[in-house]
Amino acid sequence: MSGKKLIECVPNFSEGRDMNVINQITKEIEAVEGVKLIDVDPGKATNRTVVTFVGTPDEVLEAAFRAVRKAKELIDMSKHHGAHPRFGATDVCPLVPVANITMDEVVEYAHKLAKRIGDELEIPVYCYEFAAFEAKRRNLATCRSGEYEGLPKKLQDAEWKPDFGPAKFLPQTGAIAVGARNFLVAYNVNLNTTSTRRANAVAFDIREKGRPKREGNQVTGKIAKGDNGKDIWIPGSLKACKAIGWFIDEYGIAQVSINLTDITVTPIHVAFEEACKKAQERGLRVTGSEVVGVVPLSAMLDAGKYFLKKQKRSTGIPEREIIKIAVKSLGLDELYPFDPDKKIIEYILKNKDTKRLVDLSLEHFTQETASESPAPGGGSISAAMGAFGSALATMVANLSSHKPGWDDRWEEFSNWADKGNYYMEQLLHMIDEDTAAFNRIMDAFGLPKGTDEEKAARTKAIQDATLYAIEVPFKVMNLCYESMEVIKAMAEQGNPNSVSDAGVGALAARSAVLGAYLNVKINASGLKDKMVANDFIKRGEETVSKTIALEKEILSIVEQKILQ
């Protein structure tokens, strides 16, 4: 999951009362493999349903298209009434980057989806936010101005020709806005007060819009006007932040209800810290907070690392531990338990049915290796040895960062721990990847070979799988060799009481490189392209030589420090 591109889609459908219609639309989304339906939020007063789903980009586009197609079939806009602005059966369909993908890439996907909707469903499509083709269409409210009732006239205006699809009024369907925007986090900060007014004061302090400037007394004075006759506003302290104060009967407290419209501009932990500061200035105290809906993993890791750094603690610790620090520091479990598996998008998307070697206990993993099954084999064990070597280096770095009397060096060792943790995580992933590569070869050999076409396809599949089975252990070799930079640094500079651990790390990394190289060689023997095979062998030999030399250097350092 760690390297997979993920985007979120939040289509709004103009139906919030008939669950039969809503269920038919969401079933279209759930039918697409690689997509996870996270939330369905119907509103009777607005007559609108907000749907949230996440997945890999192409699959999200397919699910979005099917949902829009079903909404066109089921929703009649000529009979629609509701409190929320709208101009189409699927009113808006924003795409949001979640993990391992840039906004520019998401914009391309938004345009691809918009074009398909326009071409195949013949619905007028306007692109907004980051996907807008011109500045005036960036604002959704501007694109949707006049709403459904104003569409006949709007579509006749050359300035409002749709970006995709025909400039033709569809009485039943209306139009759709397809966009690309940043992830929006709904986030509430809890206060030790029951006063909505006091909570509002903090909200106005922090929100980007701020509060209106008043003449004389800020509370009772009239709102000040500018030369243009418009109200003058005093901006708040946070960008990309909307906020208001309210009282929650269920918990008997007032909250600052915040929408963070761009967490790359104002992350969760920054909003929390600023709310704490402004609350304290007003004689209040923040007691905790809550995330409404879901949150990207990166936001939680950024928060956890921020608070670890404030404590002058190493950030090179396991992911779950960083999240635990974030939860405790933000008080996310004050009102109810914060379950990462239900609140963090990437964890929600994990396939709980997929069996991974790294999820086994150490005892079970060892027994699985000893069984009559050929996998996991030497390649997976090499990756595991490398992961153990990196883990030992990371441990030494973390111990050094937290060593009494070394407080002025905590950041130096934290950086080394981050590096070591990176190699450890990569190598843990390669444990299952090596077994998957072996299984891919077995699957290729099992393909049919009754006809010439089948024989050709089978041969190609075998060669492709063989190449991949070389690439995986070759990557393990390089990761393990590179991890020895951290191991050496910890032998030289780390806590001297743990120098033997750095030595064991070097032994594990060396063994992992040599073991992975054996897998490179045996798989290379089955590759027909001998030029490519020989290149892997040659580069592998060079890595082995460098590894052995570096291991000797590290062990020499370790021996000298032990004798001191």
What residue segments make up the domains of the chain, in order of their start?
6-180, 185-349, 357-563
CATH of 357-563, one of 3.30.465.10, 1.10.340.70, 1.20.120.680, 1.10.10.10: 1.20.120.680
CA–CA separation, 122 and 115 (whole Å): 10
37 beta partners: 53
Q: In Å, how far are 36, 103, 234, 280, 388 from 273, measured between CA atoms?
A: 33, 27, 21, 11, 37
Phi, psi of 262 (to 5 degrees): -155, 95
The proportion of the chain whose per-residue pLDDT surpasses 70, expressed as a percent, equals: 98
- Residue spans of beta strands (DSSP E) within 217-331: 233-234, 241-248, 253-260, 286-292
Average pLDDT over residues 68-80: 95
Nearest to 278 by CA among 198, 212, 194, 220: 198
pLDDT at 229: 72
Q: What CATH class does 6-180 carry?
A: alpha beta
Average pLDDT over residues 145-157: 93
Out of 18, 58, 84, 333, which one is annotated catalytic? Answer: 84
Out of 163, 302, 432, 434, which one is annotated catalytic? Answer: 434
Q: What's the CA dihedral at 552, 556, 558, 559 to 10 degrees? A: 130
For domain 185-349, the CATH architecture is 2-Layer Sandwich (3.30)
Nearest to 44 by CA among 14, 87, 76: 14
pLDDT(335) > 50: yes
Question: Which has more confidence, 118 or 250?
Answer: 118
CA–CA separation, 412 and 195 (whole Å): 46
Terminal alpha carbon distance of the chain = 46
Clarify whether 434 is annotated catalytic.
yes
Which three-class secondary structure state does DSSP give residue 96?
strand
pLDDT at 219: 59
Nearest to 246 by CA among 299, 295, 293, 292: 292
CB-based burial label for 363 (10 Å; 0-12, 13-18, 19+): exposed
pLDDT at 437: 93
Average pLDDT over residues 505-522: 98
**Band of pLDDT at residue 426, cut at 50, 70 and 90:** very high
469-482, pLDDT tens digit by residue? 999 999 999 999 99
Name the average pLDDT for the chain.
93
DSSP state of 56: -
CA–CA separation, 444 and 196 (whole Å): 66
pLDDT(1) > 60: no
Average pLDDT over residues 204-209: 95
Q: In Å, how far are 190, 193, 219, 242, 289 from 197, measured between CA atoms?
A: 14, 10, 11, 17, 18
Q: H or E element: which one contains 429?
A: helix 410-445
Answer for the pair 11, 60: CB distance below 8 angstroms, yes or no: no
Of the listed ranges 34-48, 56-70, 406-420, 510-524, the one predicted with least confidence: 34-48
Q: In Å, how far are 297, 346, 390, 413, 479 from 421, measured between CA atoms?
A: 17, 19, 7, 12, 12
Phi, psi of 282 (to 5 degrees): -105, 15
Q: Quote the tokens at residue 370.
A: 């000893």
Phi, psi of 319 (to 5 degrees): -50, -45
Clarify whether 402 is annotated catalytic.
no
pLDDT at 350: 79
pLDDT at 256: 94
Q: What is the DSSP pairing of strand 253-260 with strand 241-248?
A: antiparallel
Answer for the pair 294, 301: CB distance below 8 angstroms, yes or no: no
Average pLDDT over residues 9-34: 94
**Band of pLDDT at residue 122, cut at 50, 70 and 90:** very high
The proportion of the chain whose per-residue pLDDT surpasses 90, expressed as a percent, equals: 81
Phi, psi of 99 (to 5 degrees): -150, 140
pLDDT at 88: 95
